[in-house]
Structure 1
């Protein structure tokens, strides 16, 4: 089978509180029905900082301060979308702090793919219910390292059935 690639590029924030990472539940895309980092794609003419600020606020209600750019990671996985068979997801990670606002349901509009926010601890994650971004986020938070090589998921499956989070929303 010939592979046809969709390239996705986005910026994502890692926000920790009481040893838990803030995540969102995805309603679409290759990470559908999994927990993912707040963030996403840039709009036309938008800088990395502007996109991160906008996406984080849209998806969580929080305003953030960017502390540190951690690095860039790329993921490759199968995903049938339009006429593509795979996605090459390039993600720029930032460590962030809360500057204002409060957690609330995400602002809903046509392109919004966040269903809400959750707090998750490292010992609560499994590859079956989180995105690769969350796995790499914990690698950074626990060991101060991220992958410098592409992370390839040959057998990635989109989760079609929604499950309730094994932890409490907005703990």
Structure 2
């Protein structure tokens, strides 16, 4: 029998620089210990661009304008990063953003501990969250 279903909606950024993508290190939730897209859940009354701008500042120390077309994704995750069974329905939107003109900061937020550029051609993909796998495939 599946664990009780959980539903999550988030707003994320796919920040690219050639073959690299900027990712954050997750410190809690079902993706603990994995690299994930920067972003998170909207606060009450917050638009998607406002959410993304706030999250990029909180997680990366960046002041970026979230403008453009948000793209949807949906996935069903059955195990956490530690192998525990879950019934996690993750829905969200992401926005493609160019490489920032300033370097991201090594910030620790409630959900993340720093960031790194991940090379999609050469780096090991085993430590990527299901969201990153799904968005890279789109």
Question: TM-score, length-normalised on structure 2?
Answer: 0.84
Aligned to 2:34: 34
Root-mean-square deviation (CA), in Å? Answer: 2.2
Q: Is the 8 A contact 1:9 1:90 kept in 2?
A: yes
Structure 1 segment 9-158 matched on structure 2, within 5 A = 9-79=9-79, 85-97=86-98, 102-108=103-109, 112-123=110-121, 124-126=123-125, 128-139=126-137, 146=138
Aligned length: 133
Does the residue aligned with 1:51 lie in a helix, a strand or coil? helix
* Cα gap change, 1:8 to 1:62, in 2 (>3 Å): same
Q: Name the structure, 1 or 2, with higher relative contact order (CA <8 Å, separation 6+).
A: 2
Q: Is the 8 A contact 1:65 1:99 kept in 2?
A: no
- Runs (4+) of structure 1 exceeding 3 A deviation are 97-102
Distance in 1 between the 2:134 and 2:77 partners? Answer: 15
Does the residue aligned with 2:95 lie in a helix, a strand or coil? strand
The offset of 1:91, in angstroms, is 1.6
Does the residue aligned with 2:42 lie in a helix, a strand or coil? coil
Distance in 2 between the 1:138 and 1:2 partners? Answer: 28
Distance in 1 between the 2:129 and 2:16 partners? Answer: 17
